[in-house]
Chain A
Amino acid sequence: MFAETPQVRRKLRQEAVAKWVLSAMAASMIIPLLLIVGYVVIRAWPSLSLGFLVEMPTNNMRDGGVWPALIGTIYLVVLSLAVSAPIGVLAAVYLNEYARDNWLNRLINMAVINLAGVPSIVHALFGLGAFVYAARFGYSIISASLTLAVMTLPVIIASTREALASVPRSFREACWNVGATRWQTIRAVVLPNSISGILTGLILQVSRAAGETAPIMFTGAVFFKSIPRGTPLPYGLHESCMALSMHLFTLATQVPDVKESVPFATALVLLASVLLVNAAAISLRVFLRSRKRW
């Protein structure tokens, strides 16, 4: 064997140090996630029960549950996705399947990228100016959902495009060769083979829409609203509503003397629903990828 020269030793030492430092940096991403979830669970513990989910807030929001906020969030998420999902998926189909490389499509690409970067508070200003005032929807669930829809649109376009692009070109060519038109190819070959990726992207947007606060704060979400018990659809679309994220903000900053565990329990409901939806999307993706045969 060759003896190790000082140079070699130094290089191996550097390698060991680099590996150690870099792995510590990577580990430092896991630790905050665990710490945050763990801490919130511990602090929320006294308030945790199924009743917390289905009760009204009591005593001027200092105690009680999150029922109206939970329902409001579900309203906003469902309505915003009902608008942004079809537009986003079709836009991605256009960009990936139809668009040639010309100035218009370069402009569309640039617009999608910049739309994704617009700060959420600017979306709120847009929603206020466009939906609340110009379209006269007022301070309502419709305005808030449309604002959220515009915000989630670019991410849906990006994730759907990625899913469409992962279908090999040879699949399309085979379909064109038997005489199918472009749309027939998309319907019979491209969409069935990419539907899992598209769905994963949409599910991830559920969690993003549920967590956003700034865009709904000035377009339709209110601090408190009493809703009738026992009806499955307690809000009208032209009414304002409560939302989990807004509720957490209110409890944390606006309500004095709130019972200590209530904001933590609200944070936990929000955090848990977002993380569970994400975990579901990730497992769906892992499962479908393992079944993929090309």
Chain B
Amino acid sequence: MNLTEPVEQDLVVRNTTRPAWAVLGERALEILICLCGISAIIFVLGIFFFVFKEAFPVLANPKFSLRQFLFSDQWYPTSELHKRYGVLAMIAGTFSVTALAMAIAVPFGLGGAIYISEFCGAKTKETLKIVIELLAAIPSVVWGFIGLTVLSRLIVRWTGAPVGVNILNGGIILALMSVPIIVSIGEDALKAVPDSYREAALALGATRWQQVRHVLLPAARTGLLAAVLLGVGRAIGETMAVLMATGHAVHIPHSILDSVRTLTANIAAELGEASAHSTHYQVLFLIGILLFLMTFAVNLAADLIVRGVRRK
């Protein structure tokens, strides 16, 4: 008996009996799916376009100088005679709070990632990962509220600072908020190191710590860097927590106990007061563009690093 012929006939018959609407419907659905995929690009361009559209008039305004915007620390948007739109003090605020947050979060985050990935048992690992997920889920406004009501009082009591809402407060809060992301991405980076590396180190008689220090950390270096960069991106972009926890002084900070205002907090604090389409309002959108570009650069760098690792 010839086996191939009937089967082929069967296939041909089935293909021709599939109704036209089913084929067309499937085609339409696939086009819809493709459009949804492309929507991500549309949204990124849309965000840039609409924020830029609102900010554009101020760039065209001859009285506005981009140099003053970037390099002056004088921010007097509502003054009658002496209007100044300089965001240097807020850039300094953003950087000081982010730097402090990272100084706390990076050692703890990477230490936590190493512990979870290399030192603890399966049960502890599961528990810790759940805790990290819950920690990451706490809304930023709740973090800000904790900073404003609890941490600020502790800071005043411990350091004798006149106000409790300052760089230290914001830094601690931001550190707690960015630790989860550093831990989870860092753990992924360590997990990506092949087991043969670990086995080779064990065979040489290395302890776990020696294995981590001399084998895993160098091997996972780029992935860990990406984890830190994503933490930085999160800290720069965070709004509500720093709005509530860092105070509202627009000046270049001199000590860790100074109040500052970050770029994000400045937009959140003043957008409600600025009358629509005024110069003040347009400058706030320009700050938005600045933030968009900053986080874009940080995230792109992290992405390129991660992809470089994967290719290797």
Residues of A whose CB lies within 8 Å of any CB of B are: 11-12, 14-15, 18-19, 21-23, 25-26, 28-30, 32-33, 36, 39-40, 86-88, 90-91, 93-95, 98-99, 104-105, 107-108, 110-126, 128-130, 133-134, 150, 153-154, 157, 179, 181-184, 204, 207-208, 210-214, 217-218, 245-246, 248-249, 252-253, 263-264, 267, 270-271, 274-275, 278-279, 282
Contact = CB atoms under 8 A, between A and B. Distances in A.
B60 interface: no
A82 to B, nearest CB: 15
A5 to B, nearest CB: 12
Nearest to A129: B50
A218 B271 contact: yes
A110 B37 contact: no
Interface string B228-243: 0010010011111000
* 3 shortest interchain CB distances as A-B pairs: A211-B139, A119-B237, A94-B37
A125 B54 CA distance: 9
A270 B38 CA distance: 34
A53 to B, nearest CB: 17
Contacts of B299: 113-114, 116-117
Contacts of A218: 271-272
A282 B303 contact: no
Given A22-B114, A26-B120, A214-B240, A129 B54 contact: yes
A139 B303 CA distance: 36
Name which of A26, A93, A94, A278 has the most chain B CB atoms within 10 A of its CB: A26
A117 B298 contact: yes
B291 to A, nearest CB: 5
22 contacts: A15-B207, A15-B209, A107-B41, A108-B37, A110-B300, A113-B300, A114-B296, A114-B299, A117-B237, A117-B298, A119-B291, A119-B292, A121-B268, A122-B291, A125-B267, A126-B50, A130-B50, A157-B40, A207-B137, A218-B271, A245-B139, A252-B148
A254 B296 CA distance: 33
Contacts of A263: 145, 149
A11 B30 contact: no
Contacts of B208: 15, 18-19
B78 interface: no
Contacts of B200: none
B130 A282 contact: yes
Nearest to A182: B30
Contacts of A91: 33, 36-37, 39-40
A104 B34 CA distance: 11
A99 B37 contact: yes
B298 to A, nearest CB: 7
A267 B244 CA distance: 14
Tell me what chain A mostly uses at the interface: helix, strand, loop, or mixed.
helix
Given A114-B300, A118-B292, A36 B37 contact: no
Contact of A278 (B133, B264, B271, B295): B133
A144 to B, nearest CB: 14
Interface stretch (B62-70, B82-90, B104-112, B250-258): B104-112
B285 A183 contact: no
B134 interface: yes
A28 B180 CA distance: 12
A119 to B, nearest CB: 3
A126 B51 contact: yes
B11 interface: yes
Interface string B91-131: 00000000000000001100110111001100000001011
A183 B264 CA distance: 44
Contacts of B284: 125
B312 to A, nearest CB: 17
A124 B135 CA distance: 24
B174 to A, nearest CB: 13
Contacts of A118: 44, 47, 237, 292, 295-296
A122 B139 contact: no
B119 A23 contact: yes
B145 A267 contact: yes
B30 A183 contact: yes
Contacts of A130: 46, 50
A270 B139 contact: yes
Contacts of A107: 41
Contacts of A211: 137-142
B30 A282 contact: no
Contacts of A87: 36, 39
B202 interface: no
A248 B143 CA distance: 11
B179 interface: yes
B90 to A, nearest CB: 12
Name which of A21, A32, A118, A134 has the most chain B CB atoms within 10 A of its CB: A118
Contacts of A204: 137
A274 B112 contact: no
Contacts of A93: 33, 36
A129 B267 CA distance: 14
B26 interface: yes
A108 B144 CA distance: 34
B32 interface: yes
A99 B272 CA distance: 43
